[in-house]
Amino acid sequence: MTETIRDELRELVAAVLAEHDPATTDAVTFHRARFDAGLAWVHFPVGSGGLGVDRELQLFVDALFDQAGAPGHRAELNDIGLGMAAPTILAYGTAEQQRRYLRPLWTGEQIWCQLFSEPGAGSDLASVATKAVRDGEDWIVNGQKVWTSVAHLAQLAILVARTDPSRPKHAGLTYFICDMSAPGVEVRPLRQITGQAEFNEVFLTDVRIPDAQRLGDEGQGWRVATTTLNNERVSIGGRAVPRDSGILGAVARTWRENPAKHTPELHDRLLRLWVEAEAGRLAAMKLRQRVAGGQPGPESSALKLSYARGNQQLTGLELELLGEDGLRYDDWTMTQLDRLDFTTRSAGYRFLRAKGNSIEGGTSEILRNIVAERVLGLPVEPRADKDIAWKDLSR
């Protein structure tokens, strides 16, 4: 059966390539044709960029297009849209919302960002204070978001806001799609330790969002956001990667290029980290197979934990190996287009940027709680604020 499906996919890819020569067709036109053929996300339903087949077959389709020289679709900029917004829109969006947003998202015509974290609600996302008040067919939104990747480039954002402060903090939230060009949206860059301004503060002042851009029911925001976050953790820690690639491949290359600096202790550590990275890669493959027909669950938190820990330990080992040479850092002018490709940067950049891996996509401390409670079934951490109205909580 699988080989039959592969043959059908080959025919579909060949048909797209025959009608849209990658050498002469502009990228947007090419990607629109690929989406319409169901070859964007093959596991999505027919009509939404997919064919309703196994998620793992996407790798096969991507390889066929890569071999033909097909253009990329700005995945390095739109990982939030592709990995987080799209599956959430598929799960909770109306037919009109799916029709409106999925195609331009996948083609790269619209870049997305994520307006979740706030100065007082990072790890405890349910404590968000940004409020949305109903005004006819619109919602008026006021508040501040922070650590928003690519907000300065995004056209659209996924947004969680408080719509009912009289309910407990998890129950009074609603999820929206926000136009980043709307009046009242202000984006300010945040310069990070790498020297790059990859993240931003976003201020929302009387921003009007039509109710038609609400995703899910009013008050269902926490449930919708959980779907987004689980997909984010798969996107960060569970993406499909070849063996010996990513940070591991970069550090292994540094090791091979510096034989005079090898020590038995570093050698043993590198081998242990290689084994852990390979175990994580195989676990990610297994998880993607499990979620082929649905949404990821709390197990995705374990993958993201492993990814962050491994990257930080590997880059630390690399700097120990290089010694003072590893401190030479000349990547301060890195462009936004390179932001996800750690492997082409210097060892110093990799070491500094990896520090953020244990914060973005959920802090490691919170993810350990999720794994403990929802995967291992350990006792739930006491929460005194669970049944108290958000407006009555101390802040």
Active site residues: 232
Helix (H, G, I), strand (E, B) or coil at 259: helix
Q: Residue 193 and residue 191: Cα distance in Å, rounded? A: 7
DSSP string, 66-93: HHTTPPP--TTT-HHIIIIIHHHHHHH-
HSE-CB at 48 with a 13 A cutoff on CA atoms is: 19
The DSSP annotation for 342-369 comes to GGGS-HHHHHHHHGGGGTTTS-HHHHHH
Q: How far apart are CA 110 and CA 146, in angstroms?
A: 21
Which residues fall within 8 angstroms of residue 111, CB to CB, at 6 or more apart? 74, 77, 78, 81, 150, 153, 154, 155, 156
Mark residue 286 as left, alpha or beta (left: phi above 0; alpha: psi -120 to 50; beta: remaining). Answer: alpha
CB 242 within 8 A of CB 296: no
Radius of gyration of the chain from its Cα atoms, rounded to whole angstroms? 22
- What beta strand segments (E) does the chain contain? 112-115, 131-135, 138-145, 156-162, 173-179, 185-190, 199-210
Residue that has been written with the tokens 């409106």 in this structure: 100
Spatial distance between the Cα atoms of 163 and 218, rounded to a whole number of angstroms: 8
